[in-house]
């Protein structure tokens, strides 16, 4: 096996490892509320989530992948640049899983790309227009998540008051509705997050042909094997998350007290924002959007219904994510540059 093939195998292996960790880390987003409101047992909820994580990118397409792939000049990228970017993000995902903090794998990946891209290519090798688009999407989407969760919670309450349901009947109704809403979040998660890793792999494939990502896709098309591999890794990582309730507890218990109506409103609000972003090729953080949407449902009850101490800890982790991953990826690049 020649060196070029070995480097491709290494890039794909690390990309899929990160993708699997993304599913493992972020699987809580879709299932935490549906588990804690008793709508589905954990194994069933996570099995359904894994399935929809797989089919999301197959149905929606790869627009987000091409946006992420344009962050750095792919024609000049090297294997160790791509690997360093993903190692920086993978390190952060692992640490925040240990700390049970729901953070953004998307922020982590972008931070890793920026750090490794700066180390390998300098500022000229980073497409600042794409970075601005990505950062705007990532920063605005949590506020939209809060708004969507708040509005849908108010609307859901108005509905069960209008039909004169008591809380017991409303809980029973929204438990069933949560099966649909949590599946939608998982579908949206796969359509946005799995495609980001596809974009990373295609950066290296384009570099081998000395092309930009857009030029590579125009000439060769988007490789089906990349789509299937990334979708499978995301789904497998999501399925493995049944082994750990660390992040599920944070999302399901600690931000606000959840009834099925909260769960349905948060999941539906998050899914709407993520799905629209995927259609328009905008990378957003499923973690940020769903966490914000959960917070929005709490705000619909009142400020006192939200655990602001927990929310502050999550926000601090969000702020640290990108610079931490950028620095980590920069250092990983320097180490790998000695050997590759």
Please, what is the Cα angle at 269 between 111 and 15, to 5 degrees? 30
Are the beta carbons of 155 and 303 closer than 8 angstroms?
no
What global pTM score does this model have? 0.83
Distance (Å) of CA 315 to CA 7, 101, 247, 312, 319:
37, 10, 15, 5, 6
Domain boundaries, the chain: 3-337
- What values do phi and psi take at 100, rounded to 5? 60, 40
* Residues 59, 191 contacting (CB under 8 angstroms): yes
Tens of pLDDT, residue by residue, the chain (340 residues): 578 889 999 999 999 999 998 888 776 666 777 777 777 887 888 888 889 989 988 888 888 888 888 889 888 888 989 999 999 999 988 888 777 766 677 788 889 999 999 999 999 899 988 888 888 888 888 889 889 989 998 888 888 778 777 767 877 888 888 889 889 988 998 888 888 889 899 999 999 999 988 899 999 999 999 999 999 998 888 888 765 555 555 554 445 556 788 778 888 999 999 999 998 888 888 877 887 888 888 777 765 555 555 556 556 666 788 899 999 999 999 999 887 6
The candidate with the shortest Cα–Cα distance to 294, out of 277, 307, 281, is: 307
The pLDDT of residue 177: 87
Residues in contact with 170: Cβ distance below 8 Å, sequence separation at least 6, in sequence order: 160, 260, 261
- Quick one: pLDDT at residue 252? 45
- Residue 131's DSSP bridge partners are none
Cross-strand pairs, 256: 306
pLDDT of the residue at 117: 93
Q: SS3 for 150?
A: helix
88 and 326 in contact (C-beta within 8 Å)? yes
Q: Specify whether the CB–CB gap between 122 and 243 falls below 8 A.
A: no
Place of tokens 């098309």: 221
Q: What's the Cα-to-Cα distance from 133 to each of 72, 138, 282, rounded to whole Å?
A: 13, 9, 8
Q: What's the chain's Rg over C-alpha atoms?
A: 20
The 3-state DSSP class for residue 2 equals coil
> Within 10 Å of residue 153's Cβ, how many Cβ atoms?
26
Q: So what's the pLDDT on residue 198?
A: 92
Question: Which residues contact residue 51 at a Cβ distance below 8 angstroms, ignoring those fewer than 6 apart?
Answer: 186, 235
Cα dihedral 14, 283, 104, 8 in deg (nearest 10): 0
């Amino acid at each position: 096996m020649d060196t070029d093939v070995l480097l491709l195998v290494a890039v794909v292996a690390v990309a899929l490892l990160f993708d699997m960790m993304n599913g493992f880390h972020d699987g809580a987003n879709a299932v935490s509320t549906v588990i804690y409101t008793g709508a589905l047992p954990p194994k069933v909820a996570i099995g359904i989530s894994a399935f929809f994580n797989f089919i999301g990118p197959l149905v929606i397409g790869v627009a987000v992948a091409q946006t992420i792939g344009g962050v750095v000049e792919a024609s000049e990228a090297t294997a160790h640049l791509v690997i360093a970017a993903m190692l920086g993000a993978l390190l952060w995902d692992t640490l925040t899983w240990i700390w049970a903090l729901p953070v953004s794998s998307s922020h982590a990946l972008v931070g890793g790309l920026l750090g490794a891209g700066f180390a390998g290519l300098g500022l000229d090798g980073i497409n600042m227009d794409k970075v601005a688009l990505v950062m705007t999407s990532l920063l605005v989407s949590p506020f939209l998540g809060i708004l969507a969760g708040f509005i849908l919670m108010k609307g859901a309450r108005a509905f069960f008051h209008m039909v004169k349901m008591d809380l017991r009947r409303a809980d029973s109704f929204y438990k069933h509705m949560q099966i649909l809403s949590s599946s939608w979040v998982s579908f949206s998660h796969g359509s946005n997050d799995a495609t980001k890793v596809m974009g990373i792999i295609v950066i290296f494939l384009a570099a081998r042909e000395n092309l930009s990502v857009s030029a590579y896709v125009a000439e060769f098309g988007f490789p089906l094997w990349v789509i299937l591999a990334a979708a499978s890794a995301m789904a497998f990582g999501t399925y493995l998350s049944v082994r750990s309730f660390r992040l599920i507890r944070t999302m399901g218990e600690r931000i606000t007290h959840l009834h099925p109506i909260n769960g349905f409103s948060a999941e539906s609000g998050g899914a709407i924002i993520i799905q629209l972003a995927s259609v328009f090729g905008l990378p957003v953080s499923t973690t940020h959007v769903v966490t914000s949407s959960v917070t929005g449902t709490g705000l619909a009850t009142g400020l006192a219904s939200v655990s602001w101490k927990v929310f502050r800890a999550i926000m601090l982790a969000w702020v640290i994510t990108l610079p931490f991953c950028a620095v980590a990826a920069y250092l990983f690049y320097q180490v790998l540059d000695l050997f590759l």
